[in-house]
Structure formats: C-alpha cells, structure tokens
Chain A
C-alpha cells in the first residue's frame, strides 16, 4: 500500500509541503504535488496516481471543476480538502464523485487515516485475511480459520464482521451494525444483532463467554481488535 502514488493538488506551497511530509513520515514513497488544476491534469495524463488529494479553492480551476475533468477519464479515488465548512460544499463534492471530504484545518492523523481507508477500499489486497487473537478470518472466502479448522460464516455474520473489520480498533455502534444487517430500518433489531454477535464469538473466540477480539462497549456498540499482519 505504501508504494501507491499520492498526488497532492493545492495552490498553497506550505500546505503541499506539510501534506507531503505527513505521508513521507508515514512511509509513503511515491508522492507528487501539483500547484494548479492544469498541472494536475498534466500529471494525470502521464500516469494515473493511486489517490488524489484535491483542494477545492484554487485560482485557475476550482477543485470541483478539476474533479469533473478527472472523473471524465478516470475512477481514481479522490479526497477533497476544503476551507469551507458548509454542508453544501460537502454534498457538491460527493455528488461529483469525491470519495471523501476533509475540512481544513484538519489533523494530520485524520488525513492519514482517511487516505489509508480509501486506499484499502479502492485496492483490496489479494488475500484479505483478518488476523485475530485466537483465529483468522478469510474475508474473500467468508471462512474462519481456527486451530487449522475452517468454519464458514453465514451471510449476516459476514456482513457484521466485515463492518467491524473495516473499523477495526474503533467502536461500531449498535445502530450502524443493525443498519448493515437490515438496511434503512435498523430499530428493534438489537436482539437479532446480539444473536449474530454470539455466533461470531463462538467461531472466532477461544472462550466465547470471555471475548478478547470482539468486545462489547457497554451501551454503545462493539469493537473488533485486530492483530497487525506481520511483514
């Protein structure tokens, strides 16, 4: 993932330098910067980057226009940066096909996390295996590997687990999980959700009554603790 090319488009030199340094210190090696829309289009014409970090307010061509031009030729993931906090801007960005949106001033960590999340989604690794404390889950085959045994996950268990794994290390609220399970109307599905969680624990935990990977956060939701894959 660290070798994905990142294109930073911003007319502000200091900001470009700052963003570049965030990604450099995170270990990314392919970082290109463009000071204007035209410059950015020239870079893209030569080689499509892995992700574009795009400022909305630029003198020659604003970010929305540039995004439209990019979308006409490519599906490359785009994260918009804006100095405007207004909701209309955010919606305009999403309507034009932005993948995410960050309001200035942002925290460096937030930018990094969001870019990583977009890259993960856009370029899924060939083997999507989530390593847990007592087991591993093969997302492509929807199977749990525990003590050499492969146990299949049901469709519902899979969708719950996938949501938790996407947000590994963070709390996923009951509401969000229910929404994943049942679509728009998620109210009243807590008991169903608890059943799925129990079944998941039976499959992935060493001791399902004392979970260490799939944790309950009282009153709020659930959290999945994932082991970083060793490289």
Chain B
C-alpha cells in the first residue's frame, strides 16, 4: 500500500506547507503595512539636533536662533524653548501664549514623558540648558511604558509559547484530519488496487463513503464473475474434448500394438497416439492453469516430504516406459531427507512432472535429466536440469517474463512451451516459493524451485 501512504504523507506535508506559507505571507504583509503607513503619513521631520545647533549664544551672552529656525518651526507648526537650570525660559521661539514661562522640576519630569498642555514635546540637552521642542497639538501619539524586566521577559516567552502552541495545534489538527480522510479513503484505494489486479474485494458498505465501497464491491464481483465464467468455459471445453480424445488415444494405441498390421500403419498410429498424448497434457495444463489463475483451485495443504515426492515423480517416469535415450539421475542431500513443507501434493507432483516432461519433449535426441533436492537456510531447493539443447537468450527472457496464461497465448508459437512453465510457476507461487530458470543454447536447461521453510 506504498502509493496510498505516499499520497497521504504528501497531502499532510502540503497542508503544513500551506500554514508556513500563510505565516510568511502575514509577516511580509505586516511589514508592508508598516512601511506603507510610515511612508504615507505626515511625520514631522523635525531634527532635534538641527534645532539644537541653530540656537547659539551670541556675543552678549544671549541665545539667538540662527537663520531659518523660525521657518522650520513654522513649517511643522512647532515651537521651541530652552530652560535654564532653574526652570526659567531663557530662549523661546513661537512658544504658545498659554504655556507658562517657568517650570518646576516636577513639570519637566511630567512633560518630558507626556504632553505639555496637549502639545507633544521632545526634550534634548543643550549647552545652555534643556531644549524643549513642541509639536502641533494632536499630531503625535505619545505613550510611555514602564514594566519590570521579569514581566517583560515572561511576556515575550509567553507570546512565543502562544505562537508555538498555535502552530502545534494547527499542525496536529491537520494531521488528525489527514488521518481521518486516509482512514476512510485508504480502503477504497486498496480496493481499487485489488480490483485492478483481478481479485474480488469486500469493503464494508457503511460510513460516508459507503456508496463508493458498494460500487467497488460490485465491480470486483463483476470481474470475479467474468473470470469464473472464463475458467468454467475453459473447464467445459476441456471436458468436452476429453472423451473424444480418450477414444482417439485408445484406438491409436491398439492399432500401434496390432501385430497383424504393416509396420508403416503401426508407425502412423504411433504418431496419432503421441500427438494425442501431447494434446492430453495441454488440455489438463490449460484447465489447471486457468483454475489457479482465478483462484478456483482449492489447495489441499498437508505435510509433504519433497524428497519422497520427487522420488515418486521420477519413478513414475522410469516405470512409465521412458525411452532409453533419456536418463534420470536422482540426488538428495541427507538434511533434505526429513524436510517437509505444507503443500498440495498433487499440484507439487504436477509441477515436477511438467519440468521433467519439458526436458523430455524439448530434447528429442535424448538427454540426461538430473533431479535433486537439498535443504538450506532459505528452504528446500528442488532442481530439475538437463544437458540438452537449451534455449536461446530471447526465449529464456520470454519464459522468465510470462506471467499470465492469456498473455502466453499472444505469442501463439510459445503457447505449447509457455503453458507448462507457467503452470509450474503458478503452483510454486501458490506455495510461496520461487522459480529460477537458467539456460544457454546447447548447454542444458535448469529450473530451480525454492520453497520457504522446510521443517525438519
């Protein structure tokens, strides 16, 4: 279910990404607003130090304003004064009438923080005293805070914590939501995967997505029905062919053994019998492979000793009148002797039978066939090999790749070879085993079957 998980991980990450993007956007917007407000507001560009510098002592010991101070103050609707150490105004320019000309230390302390008679004021030290510059009423907002160090620290930490908590809660909620969606959608995605691989599905038809599940179940059932119809059809056809073929094989065999017939006629009968036998194994392979393909063949699992099973199959060949051109060598390791797996004996026999039969069919000039069973850590290995003509690299590639009996018929020519091998592969896979084919032209053909486990 990798793709499904990947999909939801991506979905979750993208949601988190959206949150991060959202935060970044807000920071950018916030600063944009700050800049915009600052740039578009009328902020008095009164420079305290400039004013300070322009007020100097003249030769008589009086303070005078040099040059354009009045104009500057006029422009900003501001005023300026200098208080000496006693709080007396010793210089003023445009100082409003209503303001006093003397200030106590308490007055200075007050206005330096707040306002002086509603005028926002700024103070700066001047060589002759204290420069006080006042702006237009209502032109400036002036606040003054004083908080304890620890309170400020806690406030900052607290704010950070609130921010973090928010982020965590949002991410958790997204995660939970994703999980929720995943929980209800994942079975559907798995169902689709199952259906697409041709197996029936059975999803619970409840919850918000019940309708989709119902439709999927219907689709699965429909495919299964089609598959079983196909397997039934193959089974029916093979059934109908069996009786006529029995008659053909029976009479051909008798003609072949009939000593009163001329040798040539008996030889012809022998061809009919041999081809009939090929047809016979093809039909039963086709039937079994379609039943396995559509899971219509129930496996009868029991304890199977592979060595003994292989022995019996080899003996069947040796006893069944195997031509003298062929020789079968059997070998088994001591450890494999007592090793068993859980398996369907009839099917496993069929697999081995097909492998040996393949070597016989494809090497009409004869060959030595080796059958061996060994046991190691990975399981029980059964090898069937011959020293015959082998197959070409392309053919080997095809044999390895053939995955479906319907695909194997696409190539028409390889059906006869492909089907037997396919059936072996199906049987091995039904037992959770693996199958490896090795071959080279004129250099033999080898099939290695590995079945996992192998209880001693």
Instruction: Point out residues on B near A: beta carbons under 8 Å.
Output: 235, 238-240, 242-251, 253-254, 257-258, 276-277, 280, 283-284, 287-288, 291, 297-298, 300, 305, 307-308, 311-312, 314-315, 318-319, 329-332, 337-338, 346
Contact = CB atoms under 8 A, between A and B. Distances in A.
24 contacts: A15-B247, A18-B247, A85-B238, A87-B297, A87-B298, A88-B298, A105-B245, A105-B249, A105-B280, A106-B246, A107-B253, A108-B250, A108-B254, A170-B319, A171-B319, A173-B315, A174-B308, A175-B307, A175-B311, A175-B312, A176-B308, A176-B312, A187-B305, A217-B318
Contacts of A87: 297-298, 300, 346
Given A83-B243, A87-B300, A104-B242, A221 B257 contact: no
Nearest to A84: B239
Nearest to B284: A85
A104 B300 CA distance: 22
Given A107-B249, A174-B311, A188-B338, A22 B254 contact: yes
Contacts of A88: 298
Contacts of B291: 86
Contacts of A187: 305, 337-338
A62 interface: no
B242 A83 contact: yes
A15 B242 CA distance: 11
A21 B298 CA distance: 37
Interface of A: 12, 14-15, 18-19, 21-22, 25, 57, 83-88, 103-109, 169-176, 187-188, 190, 217-221
A15 B311 contact: no
A219 B332 contact: yes
Contacts of B329: 219
B305 A175 contact: yes
A5 B248 CA distance: 25
B421 to A, nearest CB: 19
B243 A15 contact: yes
Contacts of A86: 291, 297
A57 to B, nearest CB: 8
Given A83-B239, A170-B315, A219-B332, A18 B245 contact: no
A175 B315 contact: no
A227 B141 CA distance: 129
A169 B332 CA distance: 24
Contacts of A175: 305, 307-308, 311-312
Contacts of A83: 239-240, 242-243
B276 A25 contact: no
Given A171-B318, A220-B315, A22 B250 contact: yes
A31 B296 CA distance: 39
B7 to A, nearest CB: 42
A104 B338 contact: no
A18 B308 contact: no
A185 to B, nearest CB: 10
A18 B275 CA distance: 18
Lowest 10 CB-CB distances: which A-B pairs, in order? A175-B308, A105-B245, A18-B250, A104-B242, A171-B315, A105-B246, A219-B330, A83-B242, A170-B319, A173-B311
A162 B167 CA distance: 86
Given A87-B346, A108-B249, 17 more contacts: A12-B247, A18-B246, A18-B247, A18-B251, A21-B251, A25-B257, A85-B288, A105-B243, A105-B245, A105-B248, A105-B276, A105-B280, A107-B249, A169-B319, A171-B318, A187-B338, A220-B311
